[in-house]
Amino acid sequence: MSLKKGLLSERRKKMKKLRVGTRGSKLATTQTKQTLAVFQEHFPEVEVELVKIKTKGDHLATHNLQAIGGQGCFVRELEYQLREGEIDFAIHSLKDIPTTIHEELALACIMKRHSPTDALIIREAGKTLETLPKNAVVGTSSLRRKAHLLHVRPDFDIQPIRGNIDTRIRKMNEGQYDAIVLALAGLERLGLDQTVYHQELSPEIMLPAIGQGAIALECRKDNTEILQMLKKMEHLETAIAVTAERAFLNSMDGSCTFPVGAYCRQKNGSYELTGMIGSENGKIILKETLQGDDPVILGRAVAANLIKQGAITLIEECKNDQKETFIH
């Protein structure tokens, strides 16, 4: 063992217990424990303490996400605790993290991605997206999912739904919805993909949310020791792919307050990124696919091509519709 590695190992032995922040939901706690199991494989000598933090999105579980701040409402409280030094690092679903984060913080590690796709959970087993009855009631509060669904099934009655996965499935089974849409990765992490009847919606049918299926570990920039430790767990292919997706979103607007999706994957030794912008009613879906090696350049290029197709007009129309909805 080199002197440098020996000193680093010695410091870790003396390191205080690390406090790890997470949301308190069943899914967040489960994926945090799964992530910490990987962390302990890398650093068995480091003790960790799980700190559950309730976010604005958790407190206002029945409110419209766009009305309470959109994407960042599930991470702000954790980031505040990071900046205050109350926790050493936080574990998030990457799709919940805005493309611009606080200057004192860093995304230290992106874990290997689980399934990036969405799943249509259907109350009547055997039915599919294509065979659900006319005017079926489908639950989702995601503008992206709503636009995709109405694009292929304009007859659907899309109704908002909030709450944890168990709550949403219960509401569907009680007859409030004929189907609901959830991230397939969430079902997999909870083991529900084997027990709940569902149809996986391919990216060709429904492009995922930016970063969907990936877990991100966030810490303070000035905590170089934690940064170095977490970076050892990073999955490079996933990190490059989601960097392209986040660069795309950042070039469009930086938020998820309009129907937007993207999916990047490795293909033929390079990376292929598909991005979409749509109208909330699903009548217009703009898509662009490009390949490249630099994820930031790739994300910006896809965004630029969609802007040429009229994406900014769609974004502004969607935001204006939301303002009118909140006023009334």
Catalytic residues: 96
End-to-end CA distance of the chain: 67
Say how far apart CA 220 and CA 82 lie, in whole Å.
7
Say how far apart CA 92 and CA 208 lie, in whole Å.
17
Say how far apart CA 217 and CA 88 lie, in whole Å.
10
If one counts every other C-beta atom within 10 angstroms of the C-beta of residue 173, the result is: 12
- DSSP for 35-64? HHHHHHHH-TT--EEEEE---HHHHTTTS-
- DSSP for 141-202? --HHHHHHHHHH-TT-EEE---S-HHHHHHHHHTTS-SEEEEEHHHHHHTTGGGTS-EEEE-
Q: How many residues does the chain have?
A: 328
Q: Is 46 exposed, middle or buried (0-12, 13-18, 19+ CB in 10 A)?
A: middle
